[in-house]
Amino acid sequence: MLEKIEKLSNDIKNMQKEINLVEKEMLEILNEMKIDDEVLNYIYWETDLSLKQLSQISNIGQAKLYQHIQDKNVTIICPKCQVKWIEKVSSRNELKKKKKVRPCQKCGGLI
């Protein structure tokens, strides 16, 4: 039984080494790619990659990333009066706030 546990432990260590190598290779490939602002914006707004990960694959420091990210237009529709309006957001955190329940600008109904 002890031998099986030891073998499994070694197998896990070997797998982790392989995973680390693959992750390193992926980052190297991504670092070689030139990521333009359009791709950077898509990745920022449409994926859950952290700023740290986005910084790594784009070779742009985290503090400078926001200089490359364009504001996003968000369409808001009131379910009560059907009025539509567009609001700009400049970060994911701001987008989350816009999605929270709040009163409609026109009728006061909750959106």
Q: Above 70 in pLDDT, residue 10? A: yes
pLDDT of residue 28: 76
Q: Is residue 84 part of a domain?
A: yes
Q: Is residue 78 part of a domain?
A: yes
pLDDT of residue 72: 93
Q: Would you list the DSSP string of 27-50? A: HHHHHHS---HHHHHHHHHHS---
Q: Is residue 35 part of a domain?
A: no
Of 69, 68, 86, nearest in space to 77 by CA: 86
pLDDT of residue 14: 92
Residues 6+ apart with CB under 8 A from 65: 40, 44, 51, 54, 55, 58
Q: Is residue 102 part of a domain?
A: yes
24-83 tens-digit pLDDT: 887 777 667 667 888 899 989 998 889 999 898 888 898 899 899 999 999 988 999 999
pLDDT of residue 36: 84
Owning domain of residue 81: 71-111
Q: Is residue 39 part of a domain?
A: no
User: Which of the four pLDDT bands, split at 50, 70 and 90, describes residue 17?
Assistant: very high
81-95 tens-digit pLDDT: 999 989 999 999 888
